[in-house]
Structure 1
Amino acid sequence: MKRIAIYHLETLLMIARLGTFRAAAERLNTTQPAISARVREVELQLGVQLFRREGRRMVLTTRGRQLVQACEPHWAGLEQALMEASDFSGATGVVRIGSGEMAASTCLTDLVVEIQRDLPGVTMEVELDLTRRMVERLLAGTCDIVLLAGPVASPGVRTAPIGSLDLVWVANPAVARNHAAGTLPGVWSLPVQSPLHGETMAALDALPRAPRSVSTCNNVRTLIDVIVRGAGAAVLPEMMIREELASGVLVEVLPRPARRIHFEVGIRDREQEPLVLELFRRASALRVDPGAVG
């Protein structure tokens, strides 16, 4: 009988899921040479080639695909049984969490604190980016779970809603007075890849007069600072500027847009790793604004 260790199977399945030796090494907290050595050991034991290189990705051969398909349900069941036996407290590994900035400012911290408290053996790598790039990274296997402004309509991604945020047209008081006198200020928004940009442009279509300019900034906090300093007006999530509105640093200058920004948590549709599925379950209970309805 061929002597294949459990970590050999784990390695094969991780490469098959993520597509590269490098991604598998990062997930398994080891080195790329160690991953290559494990694959060679399995291929020598079985006497068959399991992977072939296509560009920068490693693709399963026919025999490799057959082996992975046969072993994956058993491996997933073993992982699930071991983690459930310890209530997931013994879970280990590296989990890569992607988030848009608006989601990060509202509910990402709650998820990170919960993971650190309940799953102390899990190492987190958190990265912020625009929605489109986060979805691309998720599909490429370089990210495991994402918190994003949605809806995310992408094949291969499984999502769950985590609430929505009201939007408000705001400016600083001086800009608001000029606007009341008939001077339409310039408008600021996130870049075109952001759902907030689309909501801003939809709101502009409802105005009787177009603004003199529409500028963009790819950082929400900087965008808020720009508006506070009097550079123009912007459509912003109400929750992120409640303090500024309460203190009078920012004021509403136009009726609130009817539409809201919706948020979702997403994983790969075919994700089978129990730890990622458990984090998806936990993240699905988050709300970007716990006091909001809808």
Structure 2
Amino acid sequence: MTFEQIRTFLWVARLGGFRKAADRLHLSQPAVSTRISNLEQELRVTLFERGSGDLVLTKQGMLLLSYAEQMLFVEEEIKQRVANPAETEGLFRVGASETIAQAWLPEFLKAFSKEYPRVNVDLTVDISLNLRTALLDRRLDLVFLMGPVSEFTVENVSLPSFDLHWYRAATNPITDMAQIPVISYSSQTRPYRELISELSRTVGPKARVFASASLSASLKMIAAGIAVGPYPRALANDFLASEQIVEFDPGFQPQPLEFTASYLSEPRSFLVENSAEIARSIALEWDSTYPK
């Protein structure tokens, strides 16, 4: 019985399938199947009930799972307390919303690379809803999203919020939202839903809302005079500095965007936990430097 067999067993049990475990471990599916088969032969037990759906642990499989989790916890303790972080290897899968990507994400990646120079990073930029799904499906290790994620399996580290300010084109003075469309975040986000609710109350049926998952495209549309919209001031700085857009007060202010660094609590990974704290430190430093 080898440690790699135990690790493979744990991921098959966690993810409920050989293919998913193979993707997570960067192995072929036959390699995963062989490891589990060899482990079962050595222990002389059946670990999984194999049917048409997800794999189900047997009684012996449940017992082994508890030991496997303890073994991986000890491994992580050793990595944290004994091993040199600079020697850590592997693939780290990070997801970030575009707000974070255009704010402090580059500084985080610099700090992460300095701490873990031998770890490869797979970066995904997407809307928070998709990032949440990818995290729960274990396709991402750490996500920076509009949170928190209200699942008992998820740890959420609070990050600085972003105030929203209203912008219009410098060449288009119209701010009456009954006359000019409002552009906002993706229709699958909380800011969009809150904006729709507020516009329905204050403007009524004449309000038109454009939804976009791309912040840069949205700000360009505002600069072109196509729409007005609320966005973080720090992300609008270049457009403000070039005098393409100006800030205005429509009489109501959207709620700030609340973000978290979120990750699955089990199986424990000090690489992920440390990275979340690095992100928090970088975000706090960035927040103290850039205007809100």
- TM-score category (smaller protein): 0.7 to 0.9
Could you tell me the percent identity over the aligned residues? 25
Shift of the 17–197 alpha-carbon distance from structure 1 to 2, 3 Å rule, reads same
Runs of 4+ in 1 over 6 A off after TM superposition: none
Deviation at 1:260, TM superposition (A): 0.9
Deviation at 1:36, TM superposition (A): 1.5
Cα RMSD (Å) of the superposition? 2.6
Deviation at 1:184, TM superposition (A): 3.1
Q: How many residues align?
A: 289
Counterparts of 2:122 and 2:279 in 1: how far apart (Å)? 16
Question: Are 2:247 and 1:238 equivalent residues in the alignment?
Answer: no
Any idea what the Cα deviations from partners look like across 1:127-175, whole Å, max 9, x if unmatched? 1221112111111111111100124334432101110111111110233
Partner of 2:224: 229
Question: Are 2:55 and 1:51 equivalent residues in the alignment?
Answer: no
Question: Are 2:127 and 1:127 equivalent residues in the alignment?
Answer: no
Shift of the 240–43 alpha-carbon distance from structure 1 to 2, 3 Å rule, reads same
Partner of 2:19: 22
Deviation at 1:54, TM superposition (A): 6.0
Counterparts of 1:58 and 1:190 in 2: how far apart (Å)? 39
Deviation at 1:61, TM superposition (A): 2.3
Deviation at 1:67, TM superposition (A): 0.3
Maintained 8 Å contact 1:94/1:122: yes
Counterparts of 2:51 and 2:232 in 1: how far apart (Å)? 44
Shift of the 136–208 alpha-carbon distance from structure 1 to 2, 3 Å rule, reads closer
Moved more, 196-205 or 108-117: 196-205
Any idea what the Cα deviations from partners look like across 1:24-57, whole Å, max 9, x if unmatched? 3333333222111111110111122212346664
Shift of the 273–151 alpha-carbon distance from structure 1 to 2, 3 Å rule, reads closer
Instruction: Give the alignment partner of residue 139 of structure 1, picking from 136, 139, 164.
Output: 136
Question: Are 2:208 and 1:216 equivalent residues in the alignment?
Answer: no
Gap runs ≥5 in structure 2: none
Deviation at 1:223, TM superposition (A): 1.3
Give the TM-score, by structure 2 length: 0.87
Any idea what the Cα deviations from partners look like across 1:163-207, whole Å, max 9, x if unmatched? 0111111110233x2337x97311111222123313433553564
Amino acid at match of 1:88: P
Counterparts of 1:278 and 1:25 in 2: how far apart (Å)? 26
Gap runs ≥5 in structure 1: none
Deviation at 1:115, TM superposition (A): 2.3
Partner of 1:170: 167
Moved more, 115-124 or 278-287: 278-287
Counterparts of 2:28 and 2:134 in 1: how far apart (Å)? 21
Give the TM-score, by structure 1 length: 0.87
